[in-house]
Amino acid sequence: MSVDDQLALAWRDERAPSPDAITFNDGRMTLVNVRHFTQGDSVRIQAKPIADTTLRSFLSYNPDSWVHLDPIYRQKTPSGLVVVGGGSMGADGFVAHLSEVGDLRWLAFFSSSEAFCHAHGSKDGIHARTVSNQNWLFPAGAPERIQVSAVP
């Protein structure tokens, strides 16, 4: 089975690769470092890409490193469909961008983002909000260049 097929099958089974990363439908994977900073009573989150790899390479070292996903919200966008939710652990969250016919384009999974509960698309990209009111923007054409801001 090809890596593309593995990812598509995992998505249908509501599973994702376990590292903090954006995994693309062609098998590319961008690892993302998610950091939390406390500022007074608020928490600021920073998500930065740290390395490119492939799902094939990751699975060659970690063949059983898949996590269960719990979809919470689906929204049609101008460029397809976005699905967001949580994972099997309390702090997990994911954002998936699908084509108009439901084929996975990319899947972002984070072990410490908290669940994503709302999303919409715009010309800027995919906007997703976590249960702790953090807005994550996955820019169109470069979703790995994530921007995170607190909801005012």
> What pLDDT, on a 0 to 100 scale, did the predictor assign at position 79?
87
pLDDT surpassing 90 at residue 40? no
pLDDT in tens, 27-37: 999 999 999 88
> What pLDDT, on a 0 to 100 scale, did the predictor assign at position 36?
87
> What pLDDT, on a 0 to 100 scale, did the predictor assign at position 14?
95
Judged by DSSP in three states, 20 sits in coil
pLDDT surpassing 90 at residue 142? yes
> What pLDDT, on a 0 to 100 scale, did the predictor assign at position 78?
87
Across the chain, mean pLDDT equals 93
Q: How confident is the model at residue 100 (pLDDT cuts 50, 70, 90)?
A: very high
Long-range contact set of residues 146-149: C-beta below 8 Å, sequence gap at least 24: 146/32, 146/47, 146/48, 146/49, 146/108, 148/44, 148/45, 148/46, 148/47
Phi, psi of 8 (to 5 degrees): -60, -40
| pLDDT more than 70, % of the chain | 99
130 and 122 Cβ atoms separated by less than 8 Å: no
> What pLDDT, on a 0 to 100 scale, did the predictor assign at position 41?
79
Pairing of strands 21-24, 66-77: unpaired
For the chain, what are the domain ranges? 3-150
